[in-house]
Amino acid sequence: MQTLRASKCGLSTALLPASILDVIDALTKAGYVAYIVGGGVRDLMLGQNPKDFDAVTNATPLQIKEVFGRRCRIIGRRFELAHVYSGRELIEVATFRAPPKKEVTSSAGMILRDNNWGTIEQDFIRRDFSINTLYYQPRKDIILDFCNAVDDVQSKTLRLLGDPQTRFEEDPVRMLRALRFAAKLNFSIDKNILKVFTPELTHLLSDVSPHRLYDESQKLFTSGHLNRVLPMLIQFDVWKQLFAEAKPKITLFIERVAKNTDQRISIGKTINPAFFYAVLLWEIFLERCNFYLSKGVVPAEARAQAGLDVLKRQATRTIIPRFAETFIREVWEMQTRLLNPKPQQIEALSGHARFRAGFDFLLLREKSGDETTMGMGAWWDAYQLMSVDEKERVIGQYNRQRTRSRRQTQSVDVSEVKTPHQQTEIEPLVNEPEPRSRRTRKVKPHLDERVLEKGTSQSGEIHADHPILKRKRVKRDLTQVIFGPTQ
């Protein structure tokens, strides 16, 4: 074990939030030893902004509770620890752990209970990667390094303590952590890990509780390097373990959203991990919708049932909390509403609680080349920036187009309109205000003159195979309807 001067490693109390210092000081004052450990120390050393700071102490959870009183809650069963509130922040305080006793591991070697208190040396051994084992005492300005972890930080190497196969078997989630850290820190993965990181081992993730996998998936989504980690999930055969039905394929849409998510995080904007779930499961949701439609189920019911099905299957891997599931289904439902709004509902729709997420989703689909959005992403983008008068004008315009198109679809065979090479467009929305008096005089070219090939449309245009144009009353065949839990 080496004791290093923290200031020589680039650490100082000035870099720490008051909350973690408060926790370390209170425990020290009560006669315990306490250190900052894990990602906080690692990230500070790398010059990165730590997501949070974790503390570790020789006080047991009950003793921690005695020190902090009502500011402290003991959580976890498999892995008991204390949550201490300091100001508005929450600090995780763990107790030094000894290796788990034999009888609390599963037949596959997975640790089922890990609440055997021990010494700092024992605690170090059971941590995962060397770079996560640096113990920092800020008031003493020291770092305890038990395994030359500082060298691994400097050489940017992700190394597991102990035998990688055993460590992954003990806790398969470490495989996800390995990919997350490698992507986030841009570290190379030690060859001993790579040797055992095989589909046989990733398969063990299916034994991990779907709740824990959801938490880990959230950490992946919010790592700030989603775009880098996604290909790794496929490469290491982890994708299938996390996402029940979504094919291991990074579509242009997924890639665009991943980049967008990383960008938002880099500029300090919040992100909703459920949004990324909505993106990942979008294609499979559409496939499921088509399945129900092909069975003659009316569209609204097909969508509702498909949403339920897809999320239910996903829950076998990661349990998405109810509020997040509702969010995902609303974002999907918003796609239909935004694509085919009733004119009189347009303004209300733009003020809907789920509008922003639904619109972002639509625009990202469109920007990644999804032509089925019919340019409505750009339409809504423009709409939101318009004055009241402009809005009124474009809604009127949209309404007239809608009525005209409906009349045409009544006389035209729908299959004709749908052929890819014969698409007609409705004029785009424009930002410039137009005098009201000119509204009625505007001459629009005949539909035939505006036939476009698929893919040639500018954003802001609506095509003739827009749902508005081909909407037909579907006669419900109740014998075919598959009723879901909502009915």
Residue nearest to ligand ATP (CB): 39
* Residue from 39, 273, 358, 375 in contact with Mg ion (CB under 5 A): 39
The string of DSSP codes covering 363-419 is HHHHHTT-GGGTTHHHHHHHHHTS-HHHHHHHHHHHHHHHHHHHHHHHHS-HHHHHS
Tokens 């591991």 map to which residue?
105
Q: Toward Mg ion, which CB reaches closer, 89 or 255?
A: 89
Considering the complex, what minimum distance in angstroms separates the CB of residue 318 from ligand ATP?
17
Helix axes 226-235, 173-185, angle to 10 degrees: 140
Indicate the SS3 state at residue 161.
coil
Q: Toward Mg ion, which CB reaches closer, 56 or 349?
A: 56
Indicate the SS3 state at residue 100.
coil
Q: Toward ligand ATP, which CB reaches closer, 68 or 96?
A: 96
C-beta separation of 468 from 406 below 8 A:
yes
Considering the complex, what minimum distance in angstroms separates the CB of residue 413 from ligand ATP?
57
Considering the complex, what minimum distance in angstroms separates the CB of residue 39 from Mg ion?
4
54 is catalytic: yes
Helix (H) or strand (E) holding 361: helix 355-367
Partner from Mg ion, ligand ATP, none contacting 171, C-beta within 5 to 8 A by type: ligand ATP
Amino acid at position 227, single letter: N
Indicate the SS3 state at residue 124.
helix
Distance CA 360, CA 19 (A): 36
Catalytic residue among 128, 152, 262, 309: 128
Catalytic residue among 54, 145, 171, 237: 54
141 is catalytic: no
Contact segment (CB under 5 A) with Mg ion among 26-34, 36-44, 117-125, 414-422 equals 36-44
Partner from ligand ATP, Mg ion, none contacting 174, C-beta within 5 to 8 A by type: ligand ATP
Considering the complex, what minimum distance in angstroms separates the CB of residue 215 from ligand ATP?
9
Distance CA 56, CA 358 (A): 42
Residue nearest to Mg ion (CB): 39
Helix (H) or strand (E) holding 329: helix 322-339
Give the gyration radius of the chain's Cα atoms: 28
Partner from ligand ATP, Mg ion, none contacting 128, C-beta within 5 to 8 A by type: ligand ATP
Partner from Mg ion, ligand ATP, none contacting 237, C-beta within 5 to 8 A by type: none
Residues binding ligand ATP (CB under 6 A):
38-39, 51-52, 54, 127-128, 132-133, 171, 173-174, 219
Considering the complex, what minimum distance in angstroms separates the CB of residue 266 from Mg ion?
19
Distance CA 94, CA 90 (A): 13
Q: Toward ligand ATP, which CB reaches closer, 127 or 463?
A: 127
Q: Toward ligand ATP, which CB reaches closer, 54 or 390?
A: 54
Q: Toward Mg ion, which CB reaches closer, 39 or 375?
A: 39
Distance CA 389, CA 397 (A): 12
Contact segment (CB under 5 A) with Mg ion among 31-39, 63-71, 163-171, 421-429 equals 31-39
Q: Toward ligand ATP, which CB reaches closer, 115 or 133?
A: 133
215 is catalytic: no
Give the pairing of strands 54-57 and 89-95.
parallel
Tokens 């000894």 map to which residue?
98
Partner from Mg ion, ligand ATP, none contacting 173, C-beta within 5 to 8 A by type: ligand ATP
Indicate the SS3 state at residue 452.
strand
Distance CA 338, CA 486 (A): 23
Considering the complex, what minimum distance in angstroms separates the CB of residue 471 from Mg ion?
51
Q: How many residues comprise the chain?
A: 487
Partner from Mg ion, ligand ATP, none contacting 309, C-beta within 5 to 8 A by type: none
Catalytic residue among 22, 25, 52, 215: 52
Considering the complex, what minimum distance in angstroms separates the CB of residue 47 from ligand ATP?
14
| Residue of 11, 92, 48 whose CA lies nearest to 184 | 48
| Residue of 193, 134, 188, 133 whose CA lies nearest to 160 | 193
- Footprint of Mg ion on this chain (CB under 5 A)? 38-39, 52, 54
* Residues catalogued as catalytic: 52, 54, 128
